[in-house]
Each structure stands twice: as C-alpha cells, then as structure tokens.
Amino acid sequence: MFNEYKSRQSKKHSNVLKLERHSQVEPPKVAGAQTDPIDVDLQGHLELKSRLHGALLDRLNLSVIDKVERSELKRQIAALASNLIEVEGVHMRSDAFSTLVEELMHEVMGLGPLEPLLADPSINDILVNSYDQVFVERFGLLERTKARFRDERHLLRIIDKIVTKVGRRIDESQPWVDARLEDGSRVNAIIRPCSVDGPALSIRKFSRNPLTMKRLVDQNALDDQAASLLKALVEARLNILISGGTGSGKTTMLNAVSSFIDESQRIVTIEDAAELQLQQEHVVRLETRPPNAEGQGVISQRDLVRNALRMRPDRIIVGEVRGAECFDMLQAMNTGHDGSMTTVHANTARDALSRVEQMVTMLGVDLPIKTIRSQISSAIHIVIQLSRLSDGSRRVISVSEITGMEDDTITLQDIFVYKRRGKSSDGTILGDFLPTGIRPKCFDQLVVAGIDIDPKMFMRKEVRP
C-alpha cells in the first residue's frame, strides 16, 4: 500500500515516510479488542508516545510533509505506530490506539498536548506552570486540565517550535520571549534560570470571531448608550487611552473601538507581538524585534512609533505602551494624528494617567512634572477603564474625559460608570452601567464634527434596587 502511494507521488515528491527501512509495514490491526489487553499508565503512555515520536522523526521526510494530505499522513503514521507497538509487545484497545495516533499527529504537525486546548473555543487562556501542570481559563475562571507533557525537554521542544516559527529565540542568555502562533494567539514563555520550577508558557488565544462592540454589549460589558458614545468619539477623532489590569479585555476593547474607524483612513499599528484584528483594508502592521544572539538588531516600540510618523498615518494604534515610547505616542497625538489609541496597565483611570506620566519620565529627559502633565492632558481625551470581576466577567468600569489642568493636576470627569449592586446566590456580580449626569466637555466637538448624538443619554439615572 505504501509503495503504491509512493509510486503515485513520485512525479511530485518523495513519500513522507522513508520507507526503505520499513517497506513491509502493514496497516494497524487493532480494530477489535485485543486478548488480555495491557493497560498503559499515564507515564508509561507518555514514554511510549515519546519513543514512537522519535522513531517517526527518524523516518519522516520533513521536506514534503506539508504537501501530503492529512488523512494520508495519519494512515501512514498509524501503520508505523502499529508496527513499532507490536515490536515492543504492547497491546492496546482500538480506542486507545486511535487516541495515540491522534496525539502523534499533534506532535508531528502541531503543538503536542496543547492542540486539543487550542481547538476548544470555550478556552481563552492556556497556562502551563510546569510540564505536568496545565491550566486553562474558561468563561473567566481557571481550571486544571488533564493535559501534560512528558518532561521538561518535551515542553522546551514545544516552546522552541513556537518561537522559531516567528524568528525569535529562547535560551539561557535570553530566558523569556514574547511570540505568537500562526492564528495570532499571543504567547509568552520563560525558562530556567528565571523560571525556578522549569519552563512556563502562557497563551492568550486569538478569537476566530472577533468580539465586536455589539457582542460586548450583548455580554453586558457595557450598554448601548456607552457604545454609541464610543462610536461618536472615534468618528470625531478623539484620542483614546484604554486602561485595565491583566486579562481585563484591553486588546478586545481596542479591537472593538477601532472598528469604528473610517475605511478611507490609513492606520498604522505597533505591537510587541501582533495580535490586533483590525477589519479595515488600509492597515500597516508593525512589530518589534528582540536582539539576536549577539545582542544586536533590537527594534523597540519607540523606534516603530518614530518611524510610523513618517508613514503618513491618519491614526496610530499602539497595542500597549510600556516605556519611553509613551512620550513619542503623546507627541503624535499632539501633532496631527488625531484619533490615535493605545492601552496601558492600570487599575483606575487616575492610575492610568500616573502610569503614563511615569513612563514619560523613563525617557531620561529632565522635564518638569507640570510640562509632562500638560502634554498628557492635551494629548489624551478619553480614558476607558476595564476590569475583570471576581465572577470572571469583564466590564467597562468607567468612561472618563480629561477636561484640562487645574494648577499641577490633570482634571478628570466620569461620563459613564459601572455601579455594583451586590452578588447573586451563584456568585454572579450584579450591577448597572449608568451615566453620571455630566455632559462631556467634548459634546460640542462631536456636534461640530456632524455626529448626531442625543444629549439625553447623559442624564443621571438611579440605580435599581
């Protein structure tokens, strides 16, 4: 059977398996239950799979593996696995054998034990604490899975497989790395000596169906009135800072808000690891580059922000500001690139402004605090604060407007806020997203921009009992 397949493909490429060593391999004969099957424990199963994987690598023709149909590859792997299992004297039930073959496919074509987790649409994050501890976040809550790696070397091999595909590296001289999967999922990995208990891996999965503003409203992240205000703010080209803690949904909100940008405008995005899902056609995506093995060639976000200013952008979107690039971002917002957006880690809107101020001071230039705050107050118009609540839900906590300066203090006023009412018997947080009764200072700017917005949406409402 294999020789017939090889003959059919000889005009295009050689067989995926190097069959000169095993030309007589027969398809698996495990369709029925074996007599007195020997159950293989978990560690034994992992060791068996590791040996089979090593044998497969010896026989795989990696240069043509991508050209072979998955079904044919699976058939060949099953046949070889059956032969090797028979040599080892291991008996397996047909369902266990099918599972083993599927896992070998994951090892050869994908990321091993992580593949089923990546395929599960209900999982948002995959968190590998060590080779034998794999957690996931599902619906905002953490749970441990049965997935595990054979040992540290197995986990290291998967990490290396991820980072090399995007031209990055991880070793003792550079023991952590930010990368991404082919579908855009964000990856962070860290190894010894910085990770005391062995390699750790975090994957923030890329949503195949981006969360639109409508879906965020349906999930009660905010209400219709706040969503319509955000749409108006984007159309009026006000600069927006999205703030929140880790996992609060900053990138999701940035994607949703940026969907309101006009198709005719040129957008330049800047990220450490590209993960934004902008739907517009005229988008240029820029990504930082870490240093090479010699410590050279690093390209920082600040380099990319400065370069973006020469690319005739209508809007600049920075995935997240973390350092001195914040100063260049403020300069861009103040010099004609209205409608730019970025995110920052902070627990409140006021803290977000303090974080921006601290990042500007990281530039090393001796600027007076009042000058820095003046730059911030004139560059940023709106702060959207997000939070992940104790029940796992992600909410917009406030939409605030920067109104200027009073002495040395940046003045901030809330337009919409999330008011908590308590917790239900099943642990769900109860609350309402309400206007504060303050009409934003930028309302007149929205009217001048020709945006139809109802002033009644800002009228104060009482919290339901």
Domain range summary for the chain, segments of one domain joined by +: 2-109, 115-204, 213-458
Query: What's the rounded mean pLDDT across residues 135-157?
Result: 89
Per residue in 31-78, pLDDT (tens digit) is 333 333 334 466 677 777 777 777 766 666 555 556 667 777 777 777
Cα separation, 387 vs 201, whole angstroms: 24
CB atoms near residue 311 (< 10 Å): 12
Q: Which two tokens stand for residue 317?
A: 């979107």
Residue 269 has pLDDT above 80, yes or no: yes
Query: What's the rounded mean pLDDT across residues 133-143?
Result: 90
Per residue in 53-66, pLDDT (tens digit) is 777 666 665 555 56
Query: What's the rounded mean pLDDT across residues 195-220?
Result: 88
> Is residue 213 a contact partner of residue 230, using CB atoms and an 8 Å limit?
yes
Measure Cα distances from 36 to 92, 108, 406, 419 in Å: 9, 31, 83, 64
Among 89-98, 104-113, 148-157, 268-277, the minimum mean pLDDT is found in 89-98
115-204, CATH topology level: Beta-Lactamase (3.30.450)
Q: Which two tokens stand for residue 436?
A: 């504060």
Residue 199 has pLDDT above 90, yes or no: yes
213-458, CATH topology level: Rossmann fold (3.40.50)
At 52 the pLDDT is: 74
At 62 the pLDDT is: 54
Q: Which two tokens stand for residue 365?
A: 């230039």
Query: What's the rounded mean pLDDT across residues 114-118?
Result: 90
Cα separation, 301 vs 317, whole angstroms: 11
Calculate helix-pair angle for 325-334, 369-379, nearest 10 degrees.
50
Instruction: Give me the residue label for tokens 């500001």.
Output: 321
Q: What is the mean pLDDT of the chain?
A: 83
CB atoms near residue 150 (< 10 Å): 20
C-alpha distance across the termini of the chain, in Å: 73
Q: Is the dihedral of CA 423, 428, 430, 431 positive or negative?
A: positive
Among 272-276, 345-349, 372-376, 397-401, the minimum mean pLDDT is found in 272-276
Per residue in 174-194, pLDDT (tens digit) is 899 988 888 888 899 999 999
- With 0-12 CB in 10 A as exposed, 13-18 as middle and 19+ as buried, what is 242? buried
At 386 the pLDDT is: 97
At 260 the pLDDT is: 94
Cα separation, 284 vs 302, whole angstroms: 16
- Whether the predicted model's global pTM rises above the 0.85 cut: no
At 3 the pLDDT is: 44
> Is residue 430 a contact partner of residue 421, using CB atoms and an 8 Å limit?
yes
At 291 the pLDDT is: 79
Residue 307 has pLDDT above 90, yes or no: yes
Cα separation, 137 vs 103, whole angstroms: 22
Query: What's the rounded mean pLDDT across residues 255-265?
Result: 93
At 192 the pLDDT is: 92
Give the side-chain half-sphere CA count within 13 A for 320. 19
Cα separation, 236 vs 52, whole angstroms: 60
Question: Between residues 171 and 167, which one has the greater pLDDT?
Answer: 171
